[in-house]
Structure 1
Amino acid sequence: MESVIMALTIDPRTAHAPQVQTVLTKHGCIIKTRIGLHEVHSDHCSEKGLIILHICAELDKIKDLERELLDVKGVSVKYMTL
C-alpha cells in the first residue's frame, strides 16, 4: 500500500468542480484527508482551485483516480509517494 500526497488544480473552478467532486466521491474510500483551497476576496472568489489529498491505496487505484481526474477539463494533477 502506498501513501501519496496528491495536489490537483482546477481552472476554472466553478465550471469543473462538480465533475471533480463526482470523481473524488467515487474514490472516497482511498482518500484519507482532503483539503480544498481557493483565494477569496470581498468582491469575488478565485477561479483557480487547489485540492490536496492524502491517499492510502495500491498504486493501480491511485493511477485510476489520477486518470479520471485528468479526464476532467481544466484539471492538472501532481503527486508524490511518501
Structure 2
Amino acid sequence: MEKKICIVGLLVNEKSQQAINVQQVLSGYGKLILHRSGIPYSDCDRGLINLTLMATTEELNNLTADLNKIQGVKAEALCLAANADELNVCDR
C-alpha cells in the first residue's frame, strides 16, 4: 500500500485523566510518527498535539479511530502528499 505524508491534530480534553490513554495509543503507532509537538492548556485541563507521520490510508484511519475512541479526544487528519516521493522523503 502507498504511504502518505499526513498531519494529525488532536484536541485532548480532560488532559489530566486522558493523557496516559493518548500516550498508549501513540506509542502503538510510534513507527509512523515523524514529528510530535504539543501545547498544554493547563488552566482548562486541555492539550493540543500535532503529529506529522507517514502512513498508509489504513494505518491513518486506524490511528485516528483509536484516538477518537478515547473520551474527550478529537483527532483529525490532513494528508499533504500521495506518496513520499512528492515531498522528497526517503522511502522507509
TM-score where L is the length of structure 2: 0.80
Structure 2 partner of 1:20: 22
Deviation track 1:17-67 (CA, whole Å, cap 9, x = no partner) reads 00000000000000110001113xxxxx23110000001011100101011
> Which consecutive segments of 4 or more residues in structure 1 shift more than 6 A?
none
Aligned counterparts of 2:60 and 2:77: Cα–Cα separation in 1: 10
Give percent identity, aligned residues only: 27
Q: CA deviation at 1:79?
A: 1.5
- The CA RMSD measured in Å over matched residues stands at 0.8
Structure 2 partner of 1:8: 10
Task: Name the aligned partner's letter for residue 77 of structure 2.
Answer: Y
Aligned counterparts of 2:64 and 2:77: Cα–Cα separation in 1: 9
Higher share in strand: 1
| Structure 1 segments unaligned to the other structure (5+ residues) | 40-44
Structure 2 residue 53 is the aligned partner of structure 1 residue 51: no
| Structure 2 segments unaligned to the other structure (5+ residues) | 81-92
Aligned counterparts of 1:11 and 1:51: Cα–Cα separation in 2: 11
TM-score where L is the length of structure 1: 0.90
Aligned counterparts of 2:25 and 2:75: Cα–Cα separation in 1: 13
Give the length in aligned residue pairs: 77
Aligned counterparts of 2:13 and 2:33: Cα–Cα separation in 1: 22
